[in-house]
A and B are shown apart, each in its own frame.
Chain A
Amino acid sequence: MELFWKRSIKNLSLKCYTSIDDLPIKTWFEIHKTANFLLLLREPVKITNDIYDEILGFWEEMYNQYINKFGLSDEFIVDLRSQMRVAEMRADYIITGQRHFLTLIKIEEEKERLHNLDVKEPQDLEIILAKISKYYGFKLSSKELTVTEYYSYLHSIGNGKAS
């Protein structure tokens, strides 16, 4: 039995989703929702710390695939930069003790707050898919649709080239 597990571990990549081309969009959404990376497993595996780290590695790899393929949104970059600016100002405040940094931080935070003011509660994947399906005129299944396909469809809508 023990031997079986060892063998299995050797071929972990075979029992796990390692590419966004394979990973169903439903799982992608689910992992985002629950942070349960074990959902990436195609088959049951005995979980050790090393295995967990390896699965996490797969997830990170897939995320990088996503970034490389679809990129990060401008808003996200603006937001991240804003967070970085705030963090740098925090660092400056801690290092120099000059209190005017606190005011600048406050301003930046306020901007961020205004920026996110119109963000609404999440929509269900199925509803989004229904909207996209309606848009394209054919049904899209959350179980079958891979991450790459899903975002490709979405971006196709964005470019206004869908037919």
Chain B
Amino acid sequence: MAKQVKNTDIFEANLFKKTQEDVKALITEIDNLEGKLVLVAKQQKEILSQQDNKTIQSIQRTKIAVDKLNEAEKLTNNIRNQKIKLEQNLKQARKVAISENEQLKLLLAEQNKINKQLAREKLGLVGAYEKESKRLILLRKQYKDLALAEGETSVKAKQLLTDITALDSKLKQVDATVGQSQRNVGNYGSAWSRVGNTLKTGLGILGIGSAIAVIGRVLFGAVKTIREFDESVADLQKVTGLAKKDARELAEEITKIDTRTSVKSLLELATAGGRLGLTGRQLIEFTKSTDKAFVALGDSLDGTAEEIGLSLGKIAANFGAEQEFGIGLAIEKVGSSLNDLGAKSKASEDAILDFTTRLSGVASQSGITIAETNALGALFDEAGISAEISSSLIGKLLPAIGKNVKKFAKVAGVDVKSFSKLLADKPFEALQLVSKGAQSSKKGLEGLNKTLEGFGIKGGRAASVVGILAGKQERLNELVEISNEAYEKATSLSDEFAVKNETLNARIEKLGNNWDKFIISVESGEGVLSDIFNGAIGGVNDFLVGLTKVDQALKKVTQRAIGGREAYLKAVEEFGLGFDGIASGLGKADKFIEKKTDEIAKAFIDKDEKTQRTITNNLLKRIKSDNKLLESTSGLEQLAVEKRINANLLLLSKLKTVRIAQKEGADEEIESLGKLTKQRARYLGIIEKQASVVSDLQEKIQRASIDEEQILTLSLQLDVEKEELARLNRIVSSTIEEINKIEIDLTEDQTQKRILLEEEKSRKLIEQIRTNSRAETKVKEELIQKEQERLTQFILNENINEVKGEIDQAKKLAEAEISQRKSGFKSQKEFDEFKAEQTLAIKRNSLQAELDVLEFYGREEDAVRREQLKGEIAELYEFEKEKERIMIDFLEVVAELVDKEFEKRIENIGKQIDKTTARIDQLREKANEGQLASQESLAFEQKREAELEKQRAREQKRQQKVQALFTVLSTFQANVNSGASNPLAKTFADVAVLKSLAGTLGSAYDGVDDTGDRGKVDSKGGKLWVLHPNEQVWSKKDRNDVGFRDRNEIKDIVKMYDNGMLDNLSKMDNSSNFINPSAFVVNGLDNNIVVNKLDQLNRTLKQMEIPKGMVDIDEVRKLITLTTKKGNQITKERSKLHS
């Protein structure tokens, strides 16, 4: 025997093990490499530190070290990125691997189990199969011999041929079931090839193909049911004019009818009713009755449910039966008549119905009843005349009679008057008489033919119809009697329905219908089922995607043999991707079945024993029929049936458990209750007798007034009997107590149990008080009242405690739920925050619920607790508010601190800039003085100054951004505190508004000379502006005072003033060449002269000799720098020495 191949031979249980090991090895390699790079870095750093860069060799070594470190850094970055990526992948792989491996192990185990089972089944099957195959060969041989000896038509040969055919077909069926390749025992190669094919499609590996297929089958079946139901409801809505919701409710009501008819057909019947103008209860009655006809006569009637319903409805309406009996009964009457005629004649119900439908208009007008019309139809059908011909002729004859009474009276052979009366009272008899008269003489028939021809009816046909009518008067009368009786009783249809609705087939159909009804009831038009299905369909879709991936993955797995380890890894990775959706879909379906079977089992408890029996029997039948069905189906359908069987078996086991539990409990209780009840009845009988004895004795004592001795004797006897009566009463009352005790024990609800016990105690106490002969009535009443009050209080307490318990339970549940939601959070901190918040809310809600309960009952003794609760709730709210306040304060403080930090940084940068500016000024001065060495430093400082300015600008921008962030945070927190429904969205809106507003505001950040046109903020034309720290604002008047000069002009003037230039100019006395405070006056200078002097000065400066330039060659860096100086302007031009 070939070695059995197991799944584990192909797939390792831990598919990720190798991958993980490889990745780990790779990471180790990377670590090694990184270590080597660190060594290189250390060496090169050492080399760098040793260089003095005073020789070309040293510079070269520096350059080499620099280059090497540059390369090493690039490599390090690359390696570290790779390492991080690998570690992340490994982490992810470990995570996925744990769950995937577990799942895979389970699937492999399941698959192994299935394979073993298949192998075992095959072994048994093949043994029998071979035996039967040999027998078939033998039988065929025998048949050939027999056919030659006795001929093919001989009885024995025929019998043998039948046996051969049966056996052959049986074996073929086996072949079809197991697949021809599996005929050979132990041919694992072939078997494995099949498994291999399955593997290719992915089903084998997953071991869940059947489940998926079943889900698919169930889903599509259910979807179809819902779709059909929805379509039917839409039809119903259309014909009844009801709103969708009402139509749906009506449809659901209709589906409750206990029938074998499918939901779809039932609704078709209802639609027919709707077409006939029926609504509401009438429509339901119509549907019920037509359904009875549909079930009872279904096999004899042609057409859809709707057509049959319409025909019956029209008949009932046309003949006025609907008005007379109501639509339900009318249909039942028509149906009963049809049913009995069908059963007791050779006519078919279909033909009768056809005839009556065709003739209903004319017949009803002529005064012929439904039963008579049906009977006529039956007669003609028996005679082999089609409903079309017969109804057509009678349909013309009847009006003809009415139009020409005289002629037809003559044909009938009676006088006109009596014929007219007969026609009016009994039109059917008049018709019979006419036909009889026509038949009785040649003249009569000829006369009739002629008359009929006058009405456009061909003589030949008329003769045959009339001939039958006349010739089979007796039969017609019999049929009329049958029809009438059935019509009157109107039970025939129900009887037939009852029989046909409970046949084996009917029960199987009902089970199917119940499934559909169940689907529809779950759907309820609210999309409940659709949601479940959507989830499951999503799962199936994912599964299909998964299958494709599995297929691709398997192809890639084969590449592994060629050496494509990477392909394998990728394949394994992809293989894992399809599971989530499938698992989720499957999970939903299983849970769904589990939940629904539980619900059915729960409802099952309340059913009476007979119903329970019927339900379990029906279920068993359904399972049996499904088992049969299983043999004739294949592929997905087979898997679907299999799943249904499993679901039904699950349900059956649950129902059985319920029944056993119920039976055990009930038997015990019933036995005990039964005994006690019997005992009590017996004692009550004795008490009655004893009471009568006592009463007799009292009577006797009253009568025996003379004989004292007799009185004494009777009194003594009376005492004895009274005592016996009391004893019996005690016994009976104790029996009642025992019954009550059992009832209390049966009460599951603990609170109710305690209340019942307390009531029982109270009842006893009150009884004792009442029977106490020593107490006064008034005192007794008081005591009883107090006891009743106490009992009321007790019940109230119990109820409150029960509600409190429920609140407590709900609180614990909510807390437990929160603890379970941990997985949805990114960090422990985040979860802790959420938990704290939720716990607070739960506590608050719980306290509020308790307060509500106590306030509802409003007891005085709870006043303190109520106040306490109010306080606690208020504290919690206060805590929340305090927390909110703290949050805002905290934000503000943080914002301020951060802002200060920025200010500090900017200030520092400002100081550095100031210093740099000062240095620049110094260097410029030196440069002006001709110290060219200062040029380089000057350039450096200028660069430094520019950098610092940039840095300051960056810091200011960052500061603005951080300020904006804190504004947003504060706004958000404020929105949260205000209880905004979506604080984040509101924050965005608020910030957007602020931003857009800010955009419209003027800003003096870079300074401004003129603020522009008038605004509308106040009467002085004010407008909104954004100001920053330490800015200066001038009024219009101030500006006017300085002649509206701009800032640059003002700054120049101030500079001139600061360096004393203005002062000196104003005090120079040209005549004596010294400083004189009154020089202006003495010199008579005006502005023009000053300007001229300045111009002169400028010209002189321009004519000054410019110092020479400087060339610097940087051979190492291959740069040449040409520095030229013209006046105060220094130009530095650097360029590469070589290309």
Contact = CB atoms under 8 A, between A and B. Distances in A.
Interface of A: 29, 32-33, 60, 63-64, 66-67, 72-77, 79-80, 83-84, 86-88, 90-95, 97, 105, 114-115, 118-123, 128, 131-132, 135, 151, 154, 157-160, 162
25 contacts: A32-B1118, A66-B1115, A72-B1116, A73-B1112, A73-B1114, A75-B1117, A76-B1117, A83-B66, A87-B44, A90-B72, A91-B42, A94-B76, A95-B38, A95-B42, A105-B73, A115-B943, A121-B1139, A122-B1118, A122-B1137, A132-B1111, A154-B1111, A157-B1110, A157-B1111, A158-B1111, A160-B932
Given A91-B44, A128-B1120, A154-B1113, A122 B70 contact: no
Given A60-B57, A67-B56, A119 B1119 contact: yes
B1108 to A, nearest CB: 5
Contacts of B1132: 118
B943 A94 contact: no
Contacts of B1139: 33, 121-122
B1108 A120 contact: no
B1110 to A, nearest CB: 4
Contacts of B69: 87-88, 90-91, 94
A30 B1113 CA distance: 15
Interface in B39-57: 40-42, 44-45, 48, 51, 53-57
Interface string B1085-1119: 00000000000000000000001111111111111
A118 B1122 CA distance: 12
Contact of B38 (A60, A63, A94, A157): A94
Contact of B72 (A79, A88, A94, A114): A94
A160 B1113 contact: no
Contact of A123 (B37, B73, B1110, B1135): B1135
Given A94-B38, A94-B76, A86 B1115 contact: no
A119 B1114 contact: no
Contacts of B1110: 157-160
Contact of B1115 (A32, A90, A95): A32
A74 B41 contact: no
A120 B1132 CA distance: 11
Main secondary structure of the interface of B (DSSP, over half): mixed
B1132 to A, nearest CB: 8
Contacts of A83: 62, 66
A66 B38 CA distance: 37
A119 B56 contact: no
A8 to B, nearest CB: 27
A61 to B, nearest CB: 9
Contacts of B56: 60, 63-64, 67
B1049 interface: no
A76 B1113 contact: no
A123 B1139 CA distance: 9
A8 B425 CA distance: 159
Nearest to A35: B1138
Given A87-B45, A123-B1135, 17 more contacts: A32-B1115, A64-B57, A80-B53, A90-B70, A94-B69, A97-B80, A105-B73, A114-B943, A115-B943, A119-B1119, A120-B1133, A121-B1135, A122-B1118, A122-B1135, A122-B1136, A123-B1120, A160-B1108
Contact of A87 (B55, B66, B1122, B1138): B66
A1 B1135 CA distance: 48
A83 B1116 CA distance: 14
B41 A118 contact: no
Contacts of A158: 1110-1112, 1123
A83 B60 CA distance: 13
B73 A94 contact: yes
B65 interface: yes
A105 B1123 CA distance: 31
B66 A86 contact: yes
Contact of A91 (B41, B51, B1138): B41
A3 B995 CA distance: 91
Nearest to A119: B1134
Given A76-B1114, A83-B66, A93 B1136 contact: no
A105 B70 CA distance: 11
B1136 A119 contact: yes
B415 interface: no
Interface in B64-81: 65-66, 69-70, 72-73, 76, 80
A84 B80 contact: no
Contacts of B1136: 119-122
B73 A29 contact: no
B315 to A, nearest CB: 94
Nearest to B1116: A76
Given A80-B59, A122-B1135, A88 B1108 contact: no
B37 to A, nearest CB: 6
> Most chain-B Cβ atoms within 10 A of its Cβ — which of A32, A84, A151?
A84
A88 B48 contact: yes
Nearest to B1138: A33
A32 B1139 CA distance: 10
A76 B62 CA distance: 13
Given A67-B55, A151-B1113, A157-B1110, A74 B48 contact: no
B55 A93 contact: no
Contacts of A84: 48, 51, 62, 66
Contact of A74 (B45, B936, B1107): B936
Contacts of B42: 91, 95
Contacts of B1121: 73, 75
A132 B1108 CA distance: 12
A77 B1116 CA distance: 10
Given A88-B45, A122-B1138, A94 B37 contact: yes
Contacts of A114: 943, 947
Contacts of A131: 1111, 1122
A154 B1123 CA distance: 12
Nearest to B55: A64
Contacts of B62: 80, 83-84
A93 B1115 contact: no
Nearest to B37: A94
Nearest to B940: A78
Nearest to A80: B53
A32 B1116 CA distance: 9
Contact of A93 (B76, B1120, B1137): B76
List the 5 closest A-B pairs by CB distance, nearest first: A94-B41, A120-B1135, A158-B1110, A91-B45, A122-B1136
Contacts of B48: 84, 87-88, 91
A64 to B, nearest CB: 5
A95 B226 CA distance: 70
A94 B932 CA distance: 43
A123 B80 CA distance: 44
